């Protein structure tokens, strides 16, 4: 089995707000729809096949209901296999539920997707507007109960915020001991994250751990609060055999184009 890992699309139908340097940068970048379409077509032309797709958050960038509706139309048109999503700090939960799922809700998006030999668990460790992530007792209890119900079935855990501090200049999610215990006391076969916009692979508490490149853009810390945004993007593909991730293939597309330097 193979799983395509996408992240951080930051989709909007139109990037019309220019009130900050960051928003001006979004107006200047190539539209994520073009990047995502190019990437999916590139994989297709190379004969790369996959069975499922996971998208680890920041689906939209402060998106409206219409933005989520149009993103779903795009994903449905591009992807011929089932796909699963997580939410990030740029996702407005109420608009996601309404536009993407046609539901009225604003709760954390935590879901279980049962596959043939394991389950994909989408765990919402985000809060809109909080760049460092967020988990509370309610979400921890949900995660613990989810593992219990799966009765020692292997879990591939997907979430937005990264967990390893050294992988990026931006802070990792601070996790309580009980979170780590839940993951380690149960058969967690892998952890998939986004948020940093840069691919990364390591182990977290002994569990295989991967972050995918963003679709929208990549950021480089230039020190003193300045960030250079580049027109780079990519994805990972994982090969799973006997309920283990046995290979990670990284597709990083470097355009050499600088979008804008932003002072935060």
Sign of CA dihedral 206, 51, 248, 126: negative
| Residue 193 confidence (pLDDT) | 99
pLDDT digits (tens, 9 = 90+) for 58-103: 999 999 999 999 999 999 999 999 999 999 999 999 999 999 999 9
217 — pLDDT class (breaks 50, 70, 90): very high
**Residues contacting 104, CB < 8 A, separation 6+:** 97, 98
Average pLDDT over residues 99-121: 98
pLDDT digits (tens, 9 = 90+) for 147-168: 999 999 999 999 999 999 999 9
132 — pLDDT class (breaks 50, 70, 90): very high
* Two tokens, residue 178: 């009980």
Give percent of the chain above pLDDT 70.
Answer: 100
**Residues contacting 71, CB < 8 A, separation 6+:** 9, 11, 59, 60, 63, 99, 100
Give percent of the chain above pLDDT 90.
Answer: 98
Per the prediction, the chain carries an average pLDDT of: 98
Q: Which of 33, 39, 30 is nearest to 256 (CA)?
A: 30
Assess if CATH 3.40.47.40 describes domain 2-257.
Answer: no
User: pTM higher than 0.85, yes or no?
Assistant: yes
The domain limits of the chain are 2-257
Distance CA 42, CA 190 (A): 26
Sign of CA dihedral 131, 135, 138, 141: positive
């Amino acid at each position: 089995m193979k799983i395509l890992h996408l992240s951080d699309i930051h989709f909007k139908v139109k990037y019309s707000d220019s009130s900050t340097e960051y928003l001006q940068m979004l107006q200047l970048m190539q539209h994520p729809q073009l990047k995502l379409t190019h990437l999916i077509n590139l994989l297709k032309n190379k004969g790369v096949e996959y069975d499922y797709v996971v998208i680890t958050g920041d689906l939209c960038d402060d998106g409206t209901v219409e933005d989520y509706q149009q993103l779903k139309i795009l994903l449905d048109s591009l992807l011929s296999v089932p796909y699963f999503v997580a939410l990030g700090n740029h996702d407005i939960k109420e608009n996601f539920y309404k536009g993407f799922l046609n539901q009225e809700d604003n709760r954390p998006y935590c879901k279980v997707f049962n596959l043939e030999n394991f389950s994909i668990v989408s765990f919402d460790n985000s809060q809109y507007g909080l760049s460092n992530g967020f988990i509370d007792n309610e979400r921890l209890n949900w995660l613990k109960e989810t593992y219990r119900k799966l009765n020692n079935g292997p879990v591939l855990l997907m979430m937005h915020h990264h967990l390893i501090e050294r992988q990026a200049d931006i802070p990792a999610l601070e996790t309580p001991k009980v979170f780590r215990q839940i993951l380690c006391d149960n058969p967690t076969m892998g952890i998939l994250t986004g948020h940093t916009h840069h691919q990364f692979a390591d182990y977290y508490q002994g569990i295989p751990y991967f972050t995918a490149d963003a679709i929208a853009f990549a950021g480089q810390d230039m020190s003193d609060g300045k960030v250079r945004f580049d027109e780079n993007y990519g994805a990972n593909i994982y090969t799973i055999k006997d309920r283990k991730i046995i290979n990670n293939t990284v597709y990083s597309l470097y355009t050499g184009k600088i979008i804008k330097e932003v002072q935060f």
